[in-house]
Structure 1
Amino acid sequence: MHSFTEENYLKTIYYLASRQEGEVSTNALAEMTATKAASVTDMLRKLADKQLIHYKKYQGVRLTAEGERLALQVIRRHRLWEVFLVEKLGFGWDAIHEIAEELEHVRSDELVTRLDAFLGQPQFDPHGDPIPTPAGQMPETGYRKLSEATAGECVRLMAVLEHSTEFLQHLDRCDLSLGCTVTVTEISTFDKSLLIHLASNQPVFVSADVARNLLVS
């Protein structure tokens, strides 16, 4: 049995590794978990002793096969609970992350199997993130960032990288939701901000930082 903290570290290592090449640094983990580097190092040693990660001081960390399996189980539970909270309990997509953070540690395989069936075996959570399969496979999406789109291009918003309440509420105020179609009208040469138009022809200004956190197809 692994502690909640250990599960959170495995999930965080997987998350960081999926967004970069190479091993995950201790500093990146410390920043993501808001924990002192010394405490991160202590936890990494524990995970290494349990053969859940490959870790050498000053050389970063990567998950072992078992560590990745456990991380994907936690991610699967988290994203299924997010679907449940939005679709069945009526929560907004901006109010579910912290609740799912607690529910993801309920380890009953039978509960997760029934939850998955009850929800109709969803493939994506309310933020557009793919839900790992029961076999521990993460579906490929092929999405790219809105910041990579070109002027005149029409794209569909598929997922968000930033899950903070403030960011999601900002998208709500801009009428930007998953599945909406937008056309990139202009791209500023100064700061790479975008002027986009929704299908309703409503113009929306999107900063470069926001565009980097929106995934489109």
Structure 2
Amino acid sequence: MTELTSTVEDYLKVVWSFEELGAEKITTKALAKRLGVTAATVSITVRRLTEQGLLEHPRFGGISLTEAGRRHAVRMVRRHRLIETFLVESLGYGWDEVHDEAEILEHAVSDRFLDRIDELLGHPERDPHGDPIPSRAGELEHESSLPLVEVKAPGRARVVRISDDDAELLRYFAERGLVPGATIELAAPDPFADGVIVKVADARESFTLGPAAAHSVRVLPA
């Protein structure tokens, strides 16, 4: 597989992450926000990656991965999620500490080292945040989870995965037991409040999540 720069790998991984969660149209603005660069920088890089056959960006259309781009992206996703799992399971990191470390290490470790990690961990299927880990062959477990904000209340749901973008939010969730595998109860929405009322099974009290926080939690109906 052709070696790519870390910047290119980051672009491909971010486009893939949008596609994984069903984004209808991936724009330069959305990529710029996620990558922390200007829209002009994204436009130049996307144009270059399109010329290299890694991305597609038709006029007035959204950005998407080619088959070649997807192979590279899945490889990086596997690296990121395995490294996060290794840091938590073997080195005692908290789940709120591993994202930035993995962002650095995923570009540096060899495939051989990654295979050793995979073997040591017993070939885990999901990382500490519940995100599925692609196999060595690039295969990925399919799921039909929904953002918490899209689940009808009242009702029950099982937490499947949680975005690792915000370390402070992860600590907040952990304190309340809102972690992958937890069963939650959703109260009827308050017509005068903009939020989702959640109670983790066996917990005494409920709490309210704002739209952004609720959007970072993906669930399946219980």
Tell me, yes or no, whether TM beats 0.5. Answer: yes
Partner of 2:199, secondary structure, is strand
Contact 1:127 1:163 in 2 (8 A): no
The verdict on how the C-alpha distance between 1:137 and 1:28 changes in structure 2, with shifts beyond 3 A counting, is: same
- Residue among 95, 101, 104 paired with 1:102: 104
Deviations 1:130-160 (A, max 9, x none): 1111111221122222223344422222211
Query: Where does structure 2 lack aligned partners over 5 or more consecutive residues?
Result: none
Corresponding residue number in structure 2 for 1:125: 127
Greater than 6 Å deviation, 4+ residue runs: none
Q: CA deviation at 1:128?
A: 0.6
Corresponding residue number in structure 2 for 1:2: 4
The verdict on how the C-alpha distance between 1:22 and 1:173 changes in structure 2, with shifts beyond 3 A counting, is: closer
Q: CA deviation at 1:59?
A: 3.0
Partner of 2:187, secondary structure, is strand
Corresponding residue number in structure 1 for 2:219: 216
Count, aligned residues: 217
Partner of 1:206, secondary structure, is strand
- Aligned partners of 2:118 and 2:182: how far apart in 1? 26
Q: CA deviation at 1:41?
A: 1.6
- Superposition TM-score, scaled by structure 2 size: 0.89
- Aligned partners of 1:146 and 1:21: how far apart in 2? 16
For the aligned residue pairs, the C-alpha RMSD in angstroms reads: 1.9
The verdict on how the C-alpha distance between 1:15 and 1:200 changes in structure 2, with shifts beyond 3 A counting, is: same
The percentage of counterpart residues that share the same residue type is: 34
Partner of 2:64, secondary structure, is strand
Partner of 1:16, secondary structure, is helix
Query: Where does structure 1 lack aligned partners over 5 or more consecutive residues?
Result: none
- Aligned partners of 2:63 and 2:50: how far apart in 1? 9
The verdict on how the C-alpha distance between 1:141 and 1:40 changes in structure 2, with shifts beyond 3 A counting, is: same
The verdict on how the C-alpha distance between 1:93 and 1:134 changes in structure 2, with shifts beyond 3 A counting, is: same
Corresponding residue number in structure 2 for 1:70: 72
Q: CA deviation at 1:2?
A: 0.8
- Superposition TM-score, scaled by structure 1 size: 0.91
Contact 2:198 2:209 in 1 (8 A): no
